[in-house]
Chains A and B, each alone.
Chain A
Amino acid sequence: MSRSIALLICLVGGLTMLVSPFLPMATGWANDVTDWFNILAAMAFVLGGGSLLKVQLMRLSARGPGWGYSAVTLLAFAVTLWVGLGKVGVVADPSAPMVPWSGKPDDEGSAFWWIYLYVMTPITSTLFAVLAFYVASAAFRAFRAKNLEATLLLATAFVILLGRTFAGVVLTGWLPDWASGLRLENLAVTIMDVFNTAGNRAIIIGIALGVASTGIRLLLGLDRSYLGGDA
């Protein structure tokens, strides 16, 4: 019974979104359903936070190796929640200065803004920056021009990298005007405009077809994996 109702809810939710572009009267329904979806997505963040709390508390109570890091995570989580939900340091919005809670939690000067600017942003951007080393290291070890396909990939990467930097302009700047198309910066533009456009377009069409077919399978109840094995 629970499973049948879940399948029905899935079908109704999906069909509402599908028919809304074709039926003007369904636009309002689609807006409502989109709002509900957003509310549930927001609830999912709360669920994620709750799950993190549960796991870290279990690790902390077990006192296994590295339990101190769990304590740090919990502390960081609690402080962020406290300053964010409590709007610590937020000044009132100019449109309603009499309402102290009217300001946004991430307004400049608030504690939540401070955490975002001085804790979250530096760590996440450095984590992504560090990937430059790993990408370069992996490329050095894995890239071998063994066949035509690998050579094409390697050569394109080099042309794009050089063509978008000053080094590329200097390296092929001596080419005469009639051969300017072979200058690295122009070659990079051609690759992006023609070959990359064609390849990406086919990939996008392929993904869209995959999304559509998977969506139909989900709505028709042919794919029920999300309900769990014992559903």
Chain B
Amino acid sequence: MASLISCPHCGTRPKEEFAIRGDATPLRPSSMASDEAWHDYVHLRTNPRGRVREHWQHVAGCRRWLVVERDNLSHAVFSVTDAATEVDR
């Protein structure tokens, strides 16, 4: 686990200020989507080894939701971006 996270709003902060939600890759399906799509979104996670994209919230800082891209093996953090700017619309 990284010791420091560079929040795009607050700067480099200790990881204790953040809370992790989990995998940031699944996108919420439309309410009309299939059972399988929803089952996938709510219940299924791949638990990969290596590079992962996760939702982290800077709870003791700006309270923004961030997408942290990191390697869960080497603990290297590649990027930290605001989740709102990540949403593909």
Q: Do A and B originate from a single complex?
A: no
Which B residues contact A (CB, under 8 angstroms)?
A: none
Which A residues contact B (CB, under 8 angstroms)?
A: none
